[in-house]
Structure 1
Amino acid sequence: MRNPVIPGTTLAIHPERFPDAAIDLPANGRQKAVLGGGCFWCVEAVYLNLEGVHTVVSGYAGGDPDKANYEAVCSGTSGHAEVVEIDYDSTVISYGELLKVFFSVAHDPTQKDRQGNDRGPQYRSSIFTANDEEKRVAEAYIQQLDNAGAFTAPIVTTLEPLDAFFPGEAYHQNFARRNPQQGYIRAVAQPKVEKLIQSFPDKLKGDA
């Protein structure tokens, strides 16, 4: 259930002032990252605008493979989080830069098992790591943000091993761009995209 009413959050006021990742993955061609920041429509809408991002697929991770479908995930009992799988060119945009956008623009990492009025473990703030190096970079960046006092509340983002990514149903893909006048998209996704454009103009695709 998508609720467009978003109460006050601890989202960063000045995302552009967030630190760059002090520890990052080496540039090594095409890579994938799996991130969960609440409604996957909104997270997808942000990352599709970044230079170096080839595709973004909305889907599910972290739960029972037999229940990797929207109805089961929405029940909050399947164990999954709504996530996006980002296929990116690490010679253009790094894993650390994706994390910087994730924490500063794409969602509020201080809300446990929710984003705004979307409530349940399926909306948890989560980073699904494919290997130890991704986990090391993510842990180090969260520590950087804590040290910098980036938020007024604790970061509750979970770091979970990526056992499998399950693409979501076709009607979820590229949802925000296909439905720009939908109420939830106008209230929640579009402000995040606008914040991205304002805060990271040098990271955008030419058509963003």
Structure 2
Amino acid sequence: MIKSLLGASAAVLLVLPNAAQAETIVLAGGCFWGMEGVFEHVKGVSSVVSGYAGGGAGDANYDAVSTERTGHAESVRITFDPAQVSLAQVLSIYFVVAHDPTQLNRQTPDEGPSYRSAIFPQSAAQRTFSEAFIRSLNAKPRFRGRIVTRIESGRFYPAEAFHQDFMRRNPSHPYILRWDMPKLQKLKVNYPELYRN
């Protein structure tokens, strides 16, 4: 799936060696319930935490972030084993399944900068890799529009307990059924080798 997503440039991205230990990356792409739910079903992912990134510690709470004035984005911190799922695969799932990277400051039905598409690399290597990944996607467009995903810096703050594992704890919630369950089906169809129940 990654080679078909990126085209010929995939070879350059896929030759990066896997790290010997767990790796962590922070991704933002709309409501963190769905983002968390998708990555909890990816083989090799050991932890997914919902939270906020891009703003300050004092504003890292749902009420403040909902004002759209904190600089925070709803995000997920993903810890994964690169021997089981590569960074290229994590980013491919992020762009293809977890959200629509062509929507600016929104993910249907949510609107505002806290729902923006953004990657918060946790190392210089991740930043370089993510920038190259986005360039590859834009060089041979496979989406309805240009990728608007930003590469940002900022500390990650875990969200309130109520938001953690929300999809798993509330599978029949109307929001989950309408917007997030279809993402799990898309993950299963597009990445069967990485999907886990």
Q: Give the TM-score range, shorter chain.
A: over 0.9
Letter in structure 2 aligned against 1:188: W
Displacement, 1:101?
0.4
Letter in structure 2 aligned against 1:95: L
CA distance 1:15–1:181, shift in 2 (3 Å): farther
1:172 equivalenced with 2:154 (yes/no): no
Contact 2:2 2:89 in 1 (8 A): no
RMSD over aligned CA atoms reads 1.6
TM-score by length of 2: 0.92
Displacement, 1:177?
1.0
Please give the residue correspondences for 1:85-164 in structure 2 after superposition, counting only pairs within 5 Å.
85-161=77-153, 163-164=154-155
| Residue matched to 1:22 | 12
Q: 1:62 aligns with which of 31, 54, 60?
A: 54
Displacement, 1:117?
2.1
SS at 2:48's partner residue? strand
Aligned residues: 192
Contact 1:60 1:82 in 2 (8 A): yes
| Structure 1: gaps (5+ residues) | 1-13
| Structure 2: gaps (5+ residues) | none
Displacement, 1:151?
1.2
TM-score by length of 1: 0.88
SS at 1:203's partner residue? coil
Q: 2:187 aligns with which of 180, 184, 196?
A: 196
SS at 1:202's partner residue? coil
**Aligned partners of 1:36 and 1:26: how far apart in 2?**
25
Contact 1:21 1:100 in 2 (8 A): no
